[in-house]
Homo-oligomer: A and B are copies of this chain.
Amino acid sequence: MKRALGVCYYPEHWPREMWEADAAEMAAAGLTWVRIGEFAWSRIETAPDVFDWGWLDDAVDVLKGAGLKVIMGTPTATPPRWMLTKHPDMLAYDAEGRPRGFGSRRHYCFSHDGYREEGRRIAELFAERYGDKVNAWQTDNEYECHDTAISYSPAAKVAFQEWCAQRYQSPDALNRAWGNVFWSMDYADFDDIDLPNLTVTDPNPAHVLAFRRFSSDQVVRFNRVQCDAIRRHSEAPIIHNFMGRITAFDHYDVSADLDVTSWDSYPLGFLMDRNDAPEDFKTAFARQGDPDFQAFHHDLYRTCGAVREDAAIKDGRWWVMEQQPGPVNWAPWNPAPLPGMVRLWAWEAFAHGAEAVLYFRWRQAPFAQEQQHAGLKRPDNAPAPGMDEAKAVAREIEALPEVGTARSDVALIFDYDSAYAWEAQPQGRDFDYFHLAYETYRALRAAGLSIDILPADRQEYSGYKMIFAPGLLSLDDARLKALSGSGAMVIMGPRAGLKTDELSINVPLGPSLPGVDAAVTHTESLPPSHPMPLADGGAIWKWFEHLEGGAEVLEATAAGLPAMVGSGPFSYLAGWLEPDALARLVAKYAAAAGLETLVLPEGLRVRDTDTHRFWFNYAPVALEFEGRVFEPGAVLWEAL
């Protein structure tokens, strides 16, 4: 498959007389895809049921006339001001109980029936008009961006009560499931259930977990309504552009309604905006981005792209819908990328299997919220620094032989339900599920491995040699069977399989792995000052579990407590490993699994496809590795 480049474009921001030249210049630069429409509702439907389609018809014609393929976005992320007059109760509410007002974007509650119907209506109108003209669809834009997936509105409350009624069927069943006897929290009627915000102290974590599942389901439904409307009139593939580091809804579930997944990749903005990255790490990578963050999401969304048809993960269809082309406007600091990174990021996406990478945006808008966000072109229509790198990528795509996406030998299970659970019940300030999974990913990748990221509910996991499942909320027989049947070494834990699906402690005590006589008797969240050294090097920090049982001890603390036990395909890790210990463990188990590993210097990363090994240097300095020198921003590929 030939990879493709593209760009996001907002014809409504620019004079009509610029459009032809823009389209011609896009094509000349080697771009083949152009995304339009996503924020233009107020210019298409200028008042309720008053339409001005002409300019958009025109824009589609101009772009297609230049040979470009068009992705049309439904504009539901930006309801016009008249929508709020029509549906005054459509706004999402924040956890403080305040409506989140008009004046930016994403000001709607996913649970509002009226607005969801408006979304269906406009999507259907788009699809009727452009169903046979455009080459792909995008639904809405960046669900959950600006923390918008979870709403505490009156509409959400009613919908949650109904969701609870559907799930639990009787208040008594709900009371039992949540353990509401604990503090006299029993409900006699579903109508009595409040949302779990503004309680005196922590709400019941089972209540929070249910609300998080509900909130995810509302996103799924909102998206599905648009997909269904579009499919009634169009055969073009439907895509949504997800954001990075989001655990507010289940991306696998939303993806089940899509044909292709995509995400919006802003390596510098994401790094500057993160609180979980050490300062010296942020310093080293401020102009390049975290060397593993993009790859993690590439691998995650490749899987999402394979969810619908239950295809092999390696064939997952996915894009980068928005690629940072220069400084952005929204992070605490917004430096410019190091020269070469705009090219590197695109190639890294291709190496992980992306079909297309679209730069965001064509030309920097001189007005409104994102006026300091770079484009491929400057506001004065001169080329911005990113343009040359984009053109270089386009030329290289032409030159490169086709490369597939390799089946990975190593898998990491990433599960949204678990994220909800541990966000509801961290039991320690440092316990963050995303971080736990991401550090595992980083350690695997630092060892030169290519990774698949998998959901927790696949029917089979065959073909992998090593599977990691840290922090997995619950295990049942079906999951255990699927995992044990995979042929892989399965490394569970910490905090895996210890709870029921409703976030109670399993009795008998988990993890109850077949053939592994081990139970977690009690747990500790460790202050930063109290790591627990391991006998064989490195340490456990943040989280430790006390184990009992006769299982073989694979790792022990310096004080002699079991830290990892196992037998057969399953082993269980009873703590959060700091990076040195994790690197040691990955090397040890990869060797046992017959996998070759590298010890890559910080910043240097590899990814294998069916045919090639790609090398990427994210470091701010040249790196030498195995006799080769990698300049900053270097992208190298070699046939395997």
A12 within 8 A of B: yes
* Cβ of A333 under 8 Å from chain B: yes
| Stretch binding the partner chain, chosen from A76-84, A161-169, A298-306, A611-619 | A76-84
A196 at the interface (CB under 8 A from B): yes
Closest to A335 in B: B524
Q: How far is the CA of A478 from the CA of B209 in the complex (A)?
A: 59
Is A81 touching B326 in the complex (CB atoms < 8 A)?
Answer: no
Given A184-B75, A367-B504, A378-B509: A527 touches B204 (CB 8 Å cut-off):
no
Contact with B along A265-299 (1 / 0, CB 8 A): 00000001000000100110011000000000000
Cα separation A85 to B187 with both chains bound (whole Å): 12
Q: Does A550 contact B (CB under 8 A)?
A: no
Say whether A200 contacts B369, CB under 8 Å.
no
Residue of B with least CB distance to A77: B183
Report the interface size class on chain A.
Answer: 35 or more
Query: In the complex the two chains form, is B334's CB within 8 Å of A428's CB?
Result: yes
The interface-forming segment of A92-100, A222-230, A251-259 is A92-100
- Looking across the interface, which residue of chain B has its beta carbon closest to that of A283? B529
In the docked arrangement, what's the CA distance between A524 and B327, Å? Answer: 7
Q: Which of A178-192 contact B (CB under 8 A)?
A: 178-188, 192
Q: In the complex the two chains form, what is the Cα distance from A178 to B367 in whole Å?
A: 7
User: Which residues in chain A, 350-381, are within 8 Å of chain B measured between CB atoms?
Assistant: 364-372, 374, 378-380
A522, chain B: closest CB distance, angstroms: 6
Does A400 count as interface, using CB distance less than 8 angstroms? no
Q: How many copies does the complex hold?
A: 3
A372 engages B530 (CB within 8 Å): no
Is A115 in the interface zone, CB < 8 Å from B?
Answer: no
**Contact assessment for B104 and A183 in the assembled complex, using a CB-CB cutoff below 8 Å:** yes
Interface of A, secondary structure class, is loop
Q: Is A567 an interface residue (CB 8 A)?
A: no
Question: Is A427 a contact of B372 with CB atoms below 8 Å?
Answer: yes
Residue of B nearest to A208 (CB): B103
Q: Contact: B201 with A428, CB < 8 Å?
A: no
Contact B43 A369, beta carbon cutoff 8 Å: no
User: Is residue A205 contacting chain B, with contact meaning CB distance below 8 A?
Assistant: yes
Q: How far is the CB of A342 from chain B (nearest CB, A)?
A: 13
Is the Cβ of A384 less than 8 Å from the Cβ of B521? yes
> Of A34-42, A212-220, A628-636, which stretch is located at the interface?
A34-42
Q: Is the CB of B366 within 8 A of A192?
A: no
Query: Which of A42, A81, A103, A283 is most buried by chain B, counting CB atoms within 10 A of its CB?
Result: A103
B367 engages A182 (CB within 8 Å): yes
Would you call A198 an interface residue if the criterion is a C-beta within 8 Å of the partner chain's C-beta atoms?
Answer: yes
Does A47 touch B at the CB level, under 8 Å? yes
Contact: A182 with B329, CB < 8 Å? no
Q: From A371, which residue of chain B is reached at the shortest CB distance?
A: B505
Is A560 among interface residues, defined by CB-CB distance under 8 A?
Answer: no
Contact call A529/B184, Cβ cutoff below 8 A = no
- Contact across chains for B527 and A286 when beta carbons are under 8 A apart: yes
In the complex, what residue of chain B is closest to A75 when comparing beta carbons?
A: B184
The yes or no answer to A203 lying at the interface (CB within 8 A) is yes
CA distance A507 to B42 in the complex (A): 25
Structural contact, B103 and A199, CB atoms closer than 8 A: yes
Given contacts A39-B182, A78-B184, A183-B78, contact A529 B282 (CB under 8 A): yes
Decide if A336 is an interface residue (CB 8 Å cutoff): yes
Closest residue of B by beta carbon distance from A107: B200
Known: A39-B182, A183-B369, A206-B368. 16 other contacts (CB 8 A): A39-B183, A79-B184, A81-B186, A81-B188, A101-B197, A102-B194, A104-B201, A179-B371, A272-B527, A283-B527, A329-B427, A336-B546, A367-B505, A372-B427, A379-B507, A385-B522
A interface residue numbers (CB < 8 A to B): 12-13, 39-43, 46-47, 75, 78-82, 85, 92, 96-107, 145-146, 148, 178-188, 192, 194, 196-207, 272, 279, 282-283, 286-287, 326-327, 329-330, 332-336, 364-372, 374, 378-380, 382, 384-385, 425, 427-430, 504-509, 519, 521-527, 529-530, 546
7 residue pairs from A and B, CB less than 8 Å apart:
A42-B181, A81-B186, A99-B198, A201-B369, A286-B527, A379-B507, A384-B522
